[in-house]
Chain A
Amino acid sequence: MKGNHRPLGTDELCQAVLAGIFLALLVLFVFAPLSELFFKAFSGGDDGLSGFGRFAGTLSDPALRRSFWNSLWVSMTSSSIACGAALLTVLSLYKTRMPGKPLVRGLALLPLFAPTMMHGIALVYLFGNKGLVTGLGWNIGLYGPKGIVLAEILYVFPQAFLILSAALEISDRRLYEAAETLGAGTLKRFWTVTLPGLRYALLNAFFSGFTLSFTDFGAPKVVGGNFNVLATDIYKQVIGQQNLSMGAVIGLLLLGPAVAAFLAERAVSGLHSATVSSNTVPVFPSKNPLAEFFALSWCSLVGILSLSVVGAVLVAALVKVWPYDLRLTLDHFLFRNVAGYGLESYKNSLFISAVTAILGTAAAFGGAYLVEKTKSPRPIREAARFLALLPLALPGLVIGLSYIFLFNRPAFEFPGGFSLKNPLHVLYGTPWILVAANIVHFFSVPFLTAVTAMRRLDPAFESVSATLGVPLLKTFRRVTLPLCFPALLEIGSYFFVNAMVTISAVVFLYPPSFKPAALAIVNMEDAGDIAPAAAMSVLLLVTNIAVRAAYGLLAQRVKKKSELWLGKERKEVAAA
């Protein structure tokens, strides 16, 4: 007799409870802080004005309006230029037989591993008042909009590059062959096949780039001069003048265009998703010496620029006193007599990033599994999915600000003298609030990575497990996890690298005794200790490259191991 009479759906109940916990965490760490921000922006303050009255008053402030327009046009300009440059680079890589492609790819992605202040510092050393290029007699007038645009281009370029290369990677050779047999020339093929396929990726890249630079704080801080943008305004209001409700209003202003860009991007990608099929045949470009010449020239330019940025920061970190004493030294890496705690802050960052990577990976992967593969109630899964993707539209500054509002509040008062202690308050002023903010800030991309990895698995695995009477947890451990291990590594390194360089979310949140390295860079730069700031940037950059390289090696090994059971399957997919 083998009918083990289990009560109805123990396993299902367990899944529903776990999904419920995931949703509750998202509500607590994503939804609640945001609602608190809205509440703060619209509620009456000590000045006796009603919330809406003050909101309208703030909006009509001419200085703030100027900042808003400044932010808007600076972001549009830098995002457009960065996307154009990224497009040329990506086309060179994927549409010609240019040599040295891996090198170009590596150099193009290099800025991704550095904090945005590093771009600013590099620009200061190249084009600043005592900069290398300025010294040669070419003063571009760095401080102000020019500097910000340049720094933002450096910041946005690798992101746009990633989005565009992902789109070209999936372009289908059969389309080109069809066009060729129909007699379309090279130029016509470019206009009719390549560009339309890239159109959506380009829009996507533009919107992402716009949001990134609209809400970036590091670069304008270093090279902005007297040119005000919203991101630096919010910093001045909150940190400088302790004007939290004004900060909340600016936070909402930051949120507006970012959310609009996010929605536009969603709408565009939703229209487009149909052309991606699993059986695309990869494109191999044909030989064309002229195209290769242009491609190589352009990519050399990009590579040199990327190298000169890193080179400038290296020089800044290694030279004694620029530009007066050009002897090399490692003194700046000792961080003696500088603002911002020096090496201590680097250790802090390592700790925060490691914990963020571990907890973030568990949350993103576990959450994606609960949403994708379990039989928990649909409303729970849909709500969780929405909240998991919401951070994609949230600028770091907004997350940081809303976290102060929620976590700093000792208790919630309700009408009628009834009050409830705020359980999140214990996190305030500890490193853990930084971990929480980082996980939320970078949550959406890893979540999507995990969802994509899981959707590639046969949905019947869970049914097999159920009919064989094997608990879902065992199938998760023995099948889902090993099959998704590469995605897991990818997610972990993404969390780590981003947590190392971010400042926007943590700038409002770090406890005085626990300063992250990226913040230390800002402080050093503020205090004029630019060389140590450059040294710290180099330290972060090297750490991130090392982590990424370790990830690459590990991924390679896992891939080799799994080739045994994936090799033939992949061939079948290609043949189908």
Chain B
Amino acid sequence: MVRSLRLFEICKSYGPVKALSCVSLEVPQGRFTCLLGPSGCGKTTLLRTIAGLEKPDSGRIFLGSREITGLSPSARGFGVVFQSYALFPNLTARENIAYGLGSRGLNPRKIQLRVLEMLDLVGLKGEADRYPSQLSGGQQQRVALARALAPAPDLLLLDEPLSALDAKVRMNLRRELRNLQERLGITTVMVTHDQEEALSIADEVVVMKDGQIMQKGSPLEIYDRPANPFVADFVGAINFLEDEGRVTAIRPEHVRVFPEGKPGFQAEVREIEFRGASCRLVLGSGKTRLVADVPASLLKEKGIGHGCPVRIDLPPEHCISFDSVPAGA
């Protein structure tokens, strides 16, 4: 039975502000989908609408063949992890995880078994009787995840679950989250504003802006073939070159840089930013400005330094054409 989540023309306004304008979306079953966009793009509103915490002004939502538009959050029974985790501070990890199980008519022994199972799943067996304030940020995050997963929901919804964590913990948890999702095969929707996070974790990325979906596709599609200048600019770094009304865009790592003497456009090195394995060069030719990422070793080998004249090649297979540059770029 196909149990994908489908949204049809969901609209939602707060007074004069349109949070969602006619959003239609299909979230495939068993996949990890990321809603990506800048703050205020409507991604969290969309997630809360799916959870039933916001009522759309219009539009319909289906889970499989069943319409769930009018159902209350509890009737939908989706697992949600909130940005703040919202763990109950006066309950232990165990009690937090058991919180949603009591109302499902399970007997106490079954509840305890399920809680142990969940603690095991997130690797917190030893911390069962600690209060949230006695756990680290990453551990709190896992308790929140276990609490959301305990009632075995059809759908897992994550609202910026990693944003409050340190960079290192975030990387580890990101991988764990993905492993967990694959193991359980649970359909998952995650909201994030971090494009790197979205690209690395998701099967499907939905890029949003101003309450509308700008593009939907696999991370590779989004990165290599952005449908519009906004997506190109928001996901990863990119150069926009205007020439006679046509706009060509190219990612910095695709720009090829040679020492003087080779064929190609002429430019000079204006800034060098050392980034460990690679270097980011800011190149200029007259008014045109171009960013290129090159291996750090290349600079040494070819003797390229600050102020050096260089030649540039833009491989046509990596060039993307648009009719405009994004606003503010």
A contact set with B: CB distance below 8 Å: 2-6, 8-12, 458, 460-461, 463-464, 466-471, 474, 478-479, 482-483, 562, 564-569, 572
Contacts and interface: CB of A to CB of B under 8 A. Distances in A.
Interface stretch (B129-137, B169-177, B235-243, B264-272): B129-137
Contact of A3 (B48, B75, B99): B75
Nearest to A568: B133
A569 B137 CA distance: 11
* From A11, A458, A566, residue with most partner B Cβ within 10 Å: A458
B251 interface: no
B66 interface: yes
A467 B80 contact: yes
B53 A466 contact: yes
Given A482-B90, A565-B133, A568-B134, A463 B72 contact: no
Nearest to B144: A464
Interface residues of B, number: 37
A21 B66 CA distance: 36
Given A3-B77, A568-B133, A468 B103 contact: yes
Interface stretch (B81-89, B222-230, B287-295): B81-89
B41 interface: no
Given A4-B75, A458-B86, 5 more contacts: A2-B104, A8-B72, A460-B83, A467-B53, A467-B79
B100 A470 contact: yes
Interface of B is mostly: loop
Contact of A566 (B66, B77, B133): B133
Contacts of A464: 80, 82, 86, 88, 99, 147
Contacts of A562: 90
A471 B103 contact: yes
B148 to A, nearest CB: 8
Interface in B77-125: 77-80, 82-84, 86, 88-91, 99-100, 102-104
Interface of A is mostly: helix
A482 B91 CA distance: 10
A470 B152 CA distance: 15
A23 B76 CA distance: 31
A466 B80 CA distance: 10
A2 B103 CA distance: 12
25 contacts: A2-B151, A3-B66, A6-B71, A8-B72, A458-B84, A464-B99, A467-B51, A467-B53, A467-B80, A467-B148, A468-B100, A468-B103, A468-B147, A468-B151, A469-B75, A469-B100, A470-B74, A470-B102, A471-B103, A478-B91, A479-B90, A564-B131, A565-B90, A565-B132, A568-B134
B70 interface: yes
A6 B89 contact: no
Nearest to A562: B90
B73 interface: yes
Nearest to B71: A8
A45 to B, nearest CB: 48
Nearest to B80: A467
Nearest to A457: B89
B73 A460 contact: no
A129 to B, nearest CB: 60
Contacts of A466: 52-53, 72-74
Contacts of A483: 89-90
